[in-house]
Amino acid sequence: MFDNLSNSLQKTFKNLRGYGKLSEKNVKDALREIRMALLEADVHFQVAKDFIKRVQEKVMGEEVLLSVSPGQQFTARVHDELVELLGGNHKDFDLSGKPAMIMMLGLHGAGKTTTTGKLAYKFKENGRKVLLVACDIRRPAAVEQLSVLAGQVGVDVVTPNPGESVPDLALRARDHALMQGHNTVIFDTGGRFQIDNELVIELEQMKSMVNPQNTVLVIDAAMGQESVNVAETFNQRVGLTGLILTKLDGDARGGAALSVQQVVGVPIHLVGVGEKTEDLETFHPDRLANRILGMGDVVSLVEKAAEVADVDEMESMAKRMMSGNLNFEDMLKQMQQMKKMGSMTKMMDMMPGMPKVDAEEKAKMAEQGEIQSKRFEAIILSMTPRERKKPQLLNAKRKQRIAKGSGTRVKDVNDLIKQFQQAKKMAKQLKKHQKKLLRFAK
């Protein structure tokens, strides 16, 4: 979503790094380019104006203009302000209530009900007992949709009785949660294609009766400027405590993500990055700023690896790697672990130092990488168990049989063997360095 903005900002920073010393004119030209990049990304004009003003105040002093590396100092100041623009530090839900209650708001199409299911899954994974409440009684099949999601996630759900009002349903659900020991209640409220007075009054009544600790607005990140107006209206009438941005994996300009938090003044808790139940990620302003500025996101990458990795298997593989006993079984398990981490595009975004290419080229690179990974997996699966454990057995005749069995070419089998040999060579180098470090430590 932020590829175009990211490319524009990085081009500006690259030009600045070419100067040994910055003048006020250089800075003003760079700030003008950044302002244009923000506006083209659909950032709210006032947010962009205030952002540029704050950056200008920080970079016009002697500390930056006369520093040894003024371009890097300029980039650092922009990074710091971008983090502040996105909310500073991560802020979580208020889960102090007994039960903790979360009221989900949003317009039709924002992904509110789907996000409610994802949120229930996330809380359940963290050991909380969740109750979903189907308060969207007007949209056809909304109650059924939430019931299906609750079943998929494995949490309880309360649905409306015939003729029951939304505030009465909310009160009944709260009492049910207290009796059944649920410590988290999530209300999926009604939505509209646009905000209307009837909807807002219903939400106001419900909030006053159950008094939830969290009133969270779900916003489609692709909405652009309209999302700011929606957030402001909900905040003025109902009062918001947080935001969840959906469809952050899309190809829209993404200005909403950089505008809404600043305009409304409440934190972004989570972001939706895909269709799967687990594709709801904690929002970290500093990490998104890093990714927008091309610095990668190593922390999220490591956290994602830790989530999907089999620790015992990884330790066993590390020992075999250091002993030089790697085989194709190890390579297959490694590829399968990588698949669990998500798409190649997401991982490319998190890796610092990746070549800067436009969104279309990056998608093409990711697609080629995934195709090669599937091809290599098919090749290994076409080997006999003995061949996987003893790569040295792969002669010309065996390669032909494996290529035919996997629907690939002998060249593809040779490419896999070449990559495997490079991995073994790297393992030997690591082992050699490890021995040197141990001798040095002694």
More confident: 14 or 434: 14
Do 154 and 211 have their domain in common? yes
Q: Is residue 183 part of a domain?
A: yes
Among 250, 269, 293, give the residue marking a domain's end.
293
Specify if 92 maps to a domain: no
Tokens representing 171 are 């009160």
194 and 326, same domain (yes or no): no
List C-alpha distances in Å: 147 to 117, 153, 155, 236. 9, 10, 9, 31
201's CB contacts (< 8 A; 6+ apart) are none
Give the pair of three-digit tokens for residue 60.
Answer: 């016009």
- Tens-digit pLDDT profile for residues 352-375: 445 555 556 666 776 787 888 889
Q: Residues 372, 278: one domain?
A: no
Residue 79's Cβ-side half-sphere holds a number of Cα atoms within 13 Å equal to: 17
Question: Can you give 268-317 as a three-state secondary structure string?
Answer: EEEEECCCCCCCEEECCHHHHHHHHCCCCCHHHHHHHHHHHCCHHHHHHH
| Residues 328 and 418 both lie in one domain | yes
**438 pLDDT band (50/70/90 cuts)?**
very low
Identify the CATH number of the domain in which residue 155 sits: 3.40.50.300
On whether both 62 and 131 belong to a single domain, the answer is no
pLDDT of residue 170: 92
With 0-12 CB in 10 A as exposed, 13-18 as middle and 19+ as buried, what is 343? middle
**Domain range for residue 140?**
100-293
Using pLDDT thresholds of 50, 70 and 90, give the confidence band for residue 65.
Answer: low
pLDDT tens profile 144-183: 999 999 999 999 999 999 888 889 999 999 999 999 999 9
The CATH number of the domain where 375 resides is what?
1.10.260.30
Q: Is the pLDDT of residue 213 over 50?
A: yes
Assigned domain for 90 exists = no
Are residues 29 and 124 both part of a single domain?
A: no
Q: CA 61 to CA 238: how far, in whole Å?
A: 43
Return the half-sphere exposure (C-beta side, CA atoms, 13 A cut-off) of residue 274: 11
pLDDT-wise least confident of 9-18, 311-320, 400-409: 311-320
Q: Looking at per-residue confidence, does 12 or 394 come out higher?
A: 394
CA angle 300, 301, 302 (to 5 degrees): 90
SS3 104: strand
pLDDT score of 419: 86
Question: 222-250 pLDDT, tens per residue?
Answer: 776 777 788 888 888 889 999 998 887 66
Summarised one tens digit per residue, pLDDT across range 293-310 is 766 544 445 555 555 555
pLDDT at 9: 81
Whether the pLDDT of residue 128 is over 90: the answer is yes
Closest among 341, 330, 310 to 388, alpha carbons compared: 330
81 and 160 inside one domain: no
Q: What is the pLDDT of residue 299?
A: 47
Q: Is residue 156 part of a domain?
A: yes
CA–CA separation, 371 and 386 (whole Å):
26
3-state secondary structure of 243: strand
Question: Do both 399 and 340 map to the same domain?
Answer: yes
Q: Is residue 94 part of a domain?
A: no
**Structural domain contains residue 267:** yes
Transcribe 317-328 into DSSP letters: HHHHHHHT---H
- Claim to verify: residue 242 and residue 311 sit in the same structural domain: no
Identify the pLDDT of residue 277.
87
**Locus of tokens 């996330």:** 122
pLDDT tier for residue 131 given thresholds of 50, 70 and 90? very high
- Please check whether residues 396 and 422 belong to one and the same domain: yes
What is the pLDDT confidence band of residue 440, given thresholds at 50, 70 and 90?
very low
Separation of alpha carbons 154 and 149, rounded Å: 8
Poorest-pLDDT segment among 71-75, 100-104, 205-209, 402-406: 71-75
∠ Cα 248 106 201 (to 5°): 165
What Rg do the C-alpha atoms of the chain give, in angstroms? Answer: 26
- List beta partners, residue 189: 135
Please state, in angstroms and as integers, the Cα–Cα distance from residue 185 to each residue in 156, 157, 408, following that order. Answer: 10, 9, 52
Domain count for the chain? 3
Task: Name the more confident of 155 and 424.
Answer: 155
List, for residues 280-339, the tens digit of each pLDDT value.
Answer: 888 888 888 877 776 654 444 555 555 555 556 556 655 665 566 778 888 888 777 777
Virtual CA dihedral for 219, 223, 224, 226, nearest 10 degrees?
Answer: -80
Which CATH number goes with the domain that contains 32?
1.20.120.140
- Residue pair 185/102 in contact by the 8 Å Cβ criterion: yes
- Please answer whether residues 294 and 10 qualify as being in contact, where contact means their C-beta atoms are separated by less than 8 angstroms: yes
Band the pLDDT of 422: cuts 50, 70, 90. confident
Last residue of some domain: 54, 85, 116? 85
Q: Which of 268, 293, 318 is the last residue of a domain?
A: 293
Q: Which residues contact 416 (CB under 8 A, 6 or more apart)?
A: 376, 379, 380
Segment 438-442 mean pLDDT:
46
Model pLDDT, residue 63: 61
Q: Enter the DSSP assignment of 160.
A: P
91 falls within a domain: no
Same domain, 288 and 381: no
Q: Decide if 109 contacts 122 (C-beta within 8 A).
A: no
Instruction: Quote the CA–CA distance of 306 and 273 in Å, as a whole number.
Output: 19
Report if residue 93 sits inside a domain.
no
Asked whether residue 110 falls in the same domain as residue 258, the answer is: yes
In angstroms, rounded to a whole number, what is the distance separating the alpha carbons of residues 317 and 313?
6
Q: Note the pTM of the prediction, 2 decimals.
A: 0.67
**Residue partners of 357: CB distance under 8 A and separation at least 6:** 365
